[in-house]
Structure 1
Amino acid sequence: MSDNKKLKPGWKVWRFEQMATNVNVRIDNPSESGMEHYIGLEHLDADSLKIRRWGTPSDVEATKLMFKTGDIIFGRRRAYQRKLGVAEFDGICSAHAMVLRAKPDVVIPEFLPFFMQSDIFMNRAVEISVGSLSPTINWKTMAVQEFALPPIEEQLRIVGLLREIESNSDELISLVERCSSLIDAIFQYYVWSDESLTQKPISQIAEINPKVSSLTEDDPFIPMEAVDPWTQLIDPSRIEMKGQRGGVRAQGGDILMARITPCLENGKIAQVPVSIKKCGGSTEFIVFRAKDGTDQQFLYHLITSRVFHSQAAGTMSGSTGRQRASANDVGRIIVPILPLTKQIEICDQIKQISKIKEATNSRLLGLSQMKLAVLIGAGSE
């Protein structure tokens, strides 16, 4: 920012390198790091500072970065995904991230991650990213970017507001997670634990990678980035209009399940909106479509159930870090066969719980919008 007259009273412009230290401690042998936690970009949720998932150093190879409790892990690759989290433990993370530590003379450590969530920061991060397929931020470029910050007293006030919003959001997220656990418990009781049910390969109740009529350039294409973990819906803002690209083919209602590590383990499973007649998708998806006698919603819950998901992950093969499940192997997974009326009855029970989840997610959206309003003030220049 070149015109200091635009600054609010007490605000000051700083280079990012004056605000934060880039902690570049490299670990060449992750399994020998002595750490218990590994954070990849896939473990970071968009627009959330809390890290809820992680792997272990033995899961990965190649050089990684070390972080300490309180450090910010910021996804410098594909910054438009808005992925950053605050570490609550020591560990190592992907080299496609930056490990940042606030300089408290300029910005209090609790304020910096919130500021980095603001549009003023994220938009700048996207602007300075280089590369086409996987745009990435270079620290030297980020270091010289200038941002206006409020004085320490104002930072403390803003942090107080945002902490309250985050606390309420965490409680609602916990409720959503409990609803998901209850849905899985229902499936466990009525489906997986009923020894009287006939067992058959899932390929007998669902088409695997079914045929779809030819696509046009105007047909939508669903990339892996459009699917968040354990989310039935597909992010419409991530859908591309490149239907003729190579990959899988699907139609409205079909279920997409990631087949590559770590996307499969992390639960990237979604359902194509019924408004989409046909579409393309990443070659790393397996497509499921219910056959006659199988309810499509029941099939979705079956595939996302803990038992099926763990079996699908167990079929993966290949080199470390690039393991995949094949459609043929997944199609051979044995599942219980229920009458259609029973499937619908189970889905009706799940629907009631899903309504609570939807209402809770609506409240979460309201808090997110409130947080955005605060961040706009925190990031304005």
Structure 2
Amino acid sequence: MTFSIDKSDWRKVRFGDVVSNVNEVVRDPSALDIERSVGLEHLDPGELAVTRWAAIEEGTSFTRRVQSGQTLFGKRRSYQRKTAYATFNAICSGDILVFYPKDPQVLLPELLPFIASSDAFYNVALRTSAGSLSPRTRWSDLAAFEFLLPSLAEQQRIADLLWAFEQHRQSVRAVELRFSTAEMAWTERAVWDNPYPEQALSDLLDSCNYGLSDRCVTDQGDGCPAVLRIPNVVQGHCSFHDLRFLPEAADSSHPAAIREGDFLVVRTNGNPSYVGIGALVEQMQETTLFASYLLRLRTMTDRLLPSFLALCWGTKKFNQRLRPYVRSSAGNYNLSSSSILGLSIPCPPLTEQLRVVAEFDKFTGARREIAANERALKESATVVLEALLGGRS
């Protein structure tokens, strides 16, 4: 998709010249009939809609006022890309900046959230963030961001188009979430509501090994394999983006090499919710190794299909069994190989495992198609934003 915009009559402005950093303090929210408080944890990365909040009656220390029509921007850990558009009145965390046009006849409030969620704006936020554990950007740095501002009529045309993309994307996203809920419920029943006896993973796994602890590098040398780390599996599937590499040559005979059908598990992390996340290795093209913060599970394929193990691992019931074995030590949370081997799962005959996996794949295919539609809508909106803020005409 291409989107051409004539910018010959647009004027360059500083963000801080047309946008106010609204910092209105409210000591008694109930006096203003404010019933909701919004923390940074309630803003979902990449989502303009605010769909979660806490009730004021539950108690809060927040005092920053939010009014419907204002734009919210998470200044802490801005790499999470938390920008939202408020559709209700609330109070919010001090780690959320509240933006509103200084003059709505100069900059449309409806266009502002898209400007504040653009790559160009986030590049400024990332470049100016300071702090090691919780980096924060500052309003004074964001205010210096410059962009080209069209006429009000052109802004309206662009905002209408972007909101049409966004509302359609949110509708598709809602369908995807409902589909995922149905998929999870079906999987729970298919795996656990059956007459087959459970068996310990120690009787179903051929091995459960730790990865390599060698230092990795960002540039790949000749014959040097990629090394999968926690970021490559933490979403529940194997990602081959943002890779690191062994600084020396190695082939598939390396003890830490992975192959199709391996199941990788996060065994240690400072965030306990990451520990225990598993991902099935489905496709392999080149020799790839795995790092020491992961465990590699290999099934006895005449007893347990790797794909059936992945289904079991992703269920709520299995997660409830696993969580008690995630233990804290020296600031990290850990899951041992012995704990995994002691867990048990239903183990039907291979023919039944194949049937369940095949049925699940039908769900997965449909859900991926829905997700692809959502991504296409988001990419189309990004093209418009880049044309708006990227300096092209």
Structure 1 distance, partners of 2:320, 2:49, is 25
Are 1:290 and 2:299 counterparts?
yes
Contact kept in structure 1, 2:211 and 2:296, CA below 8 Å: no
Structure 2 distance, partners of 1:24, 1:207, is 61
Q: What is the aligned partner in structure 1 of residue 204 from structure 2?
A: 205
Pairing 1:184-199 to 2, within 5 Å after superposition? 184-194=184-194, 196-199=195-198
Shift, 1:145, TM fit: 2.8
Q: Secondary structure at the match of 1:238?
A: coil
Shift, 1:348, TM fit: 0.5
Q: 1:156 to 1:282 in 2, by over 3 A?
A: farther
Q: Secondary structure at the match of 2:199?
A: strand
Match of 1:98 among 89, 96, 99: 96
Structure 1 distance, partners of 2:55, 2:322, is 20
Contact kept in structure 2, 1:74 and 1:85, CA below 8 Å: yes
Match of 1:359 among 338, 344, 369: 369
- The residue identity in structure 1 corresponding to 2:314 is T
Contact kept in structure 1, 2:211 and 2:295, CA below 8 Å: no
Most deviating of 106-115 and 307-316: 307-316
Which protein has the larger Cα radius of gyration, Structure 1 or Structure 2?
A: 2
Spell out, residue by residue over 1:86-130, the C-alpha distance to the aligned partner (whole angstroms, 9 max, x if none). Answer: 3556778776x4322222515333221211222322233333334
Contact kept in structure 2, 1:68 and 1:87, CA below 8 Å: yes
Spell out, residue by residue over 1:317-344, the C-alpha distance to the aligned partner (whole angstroms, 9 max, x if none). Answer: 559xx78352354554442222222111
Spell out, residue by residue over 1:118-163, the C-alpha distance to the aligned partner (whole angstroms, 9 max, x if none). Answer: 2322233333334678754233322333333223332222221112
Match of 1:251 among 246, 258, 264: 258
- The residue identity in structure 1 corresponding to 2:258 is Q
Count the aligned residue pairs.
357
Contact kept in structure 1, 2:271 and 2:333, CA below 8 Å: no
Q: 1:263 to 1:40 in 2, by over 3 A?
A: farther
Q: 1:180 to 1:232 in 2, by over 3 A?
A: farther
Shift, 1:240, TM fit: 3.3
Unaligned runs of 5+ in 1: 1-5, 28-33
Let me know the Cα RMSD of the aligned residues. Answer: 4.4
Contact kept in structure 1, 2:38 and 2:91, CA below 8 Å: yes
Q: 1:67 to 1:281 in 2, by over 3 A?
A: farther
Structure 2 distance, partners of 1:289, 1:376, is 45
Q: Secondary structure at the match of 2:107?
A: coil
Shift, 1:347, TM fit: 0.7
Q: Secondary structure at the match of 1:183?
A: helix
Spell out, residue by residue over 1:196-255, the C-alpha distance to the aligned partner (whole angstroms, 9 max, x if none). Answer: 2212344543478514467674643445555565x5342x443334689xxxx6734433
Q: What is the aligned partner in structure 2 of residue 40 from structure 1?
A: 41
Contact kept in structure 1, 2:212 and 2:291, CA below 8 Å: no
- The residue identity in structure 2 corresponding to 1:102 is Y
Are 1:238 and 2:237 counterparts?
no
Q: State the identity %.
A: 22
Q: What is the aligned partner in structure 2 of residue 141 from structure 1?
A: 141
Q: What is the aligned partner in structure 1 of residue 16 from structure 2?
A: 16
Shift, 1:13, TM fit: 0.6
Contact kept in structure 2, 1:39 and 1:92, CA below 8 Å: no
Pairing 1:10-159 to 2, within 5 Å after superposition? 10-16=10-16, 18-21=18-21, 23=23, 38-40=39-41, 44-45=44-45, 47-51=46-50, 68=66, 70=68, 72-87=71-86, 97-103=95-101, 105=103, 106-130=106-130, 136-159=136-159
Q: Secondary structure at the match of 2:209?
A: coil
Contact kept in structure 2, 1:212 and 1:251, CA below 8 Å: no
Are 1:169 and 2:175 counterparts?
no
Structure 1 distance, partners of 2:25, 2:323, is 32
- The residue identity in structure 1 corresponding to 2:167 is S
Structure 2 distance, partners of 1:268, 1:93, is 31
Contact kept in structure 1, 2:204 and 2:299, CA below 8 Å: yes
Q: What's the TM-score once normalised by structure 1's chain length?
A: 0.73
Q: 1:20 to 1:363 in 2, by over 3 A?
A: same
Q: Secondary structure at the match of 2:97?
A: strand
Structure 1 distance, partners of 2:83, 2:116, is 8
Q: What is the aligned partner in structure 2 of residue 30 from structure 1?
A: none
Pairing 1:297-312 to 2, within 5 Å after superposition? 297-312=307-322
Q: 1:125 to 1:193 in 2, by over 3 A?
A: same
Q: Secondary structure at the match of 1:110?
A: coil
Structure 1 distance, partners of 2:333, 2:148, is 46
Shift, 1:21, TM fit: 0.9
Q: What is the aligned partner in structure 1 of residue 273 from structure 2?
A: 264
Unaligned runs of 5+ in 2: 1-5, 28-34, 218-224, 249-255
Q: What is the aligned partner in structure 2 of residue 31 from structure 1?
A: none
Q: Secondary structure at the match of 1:210?
A: strand
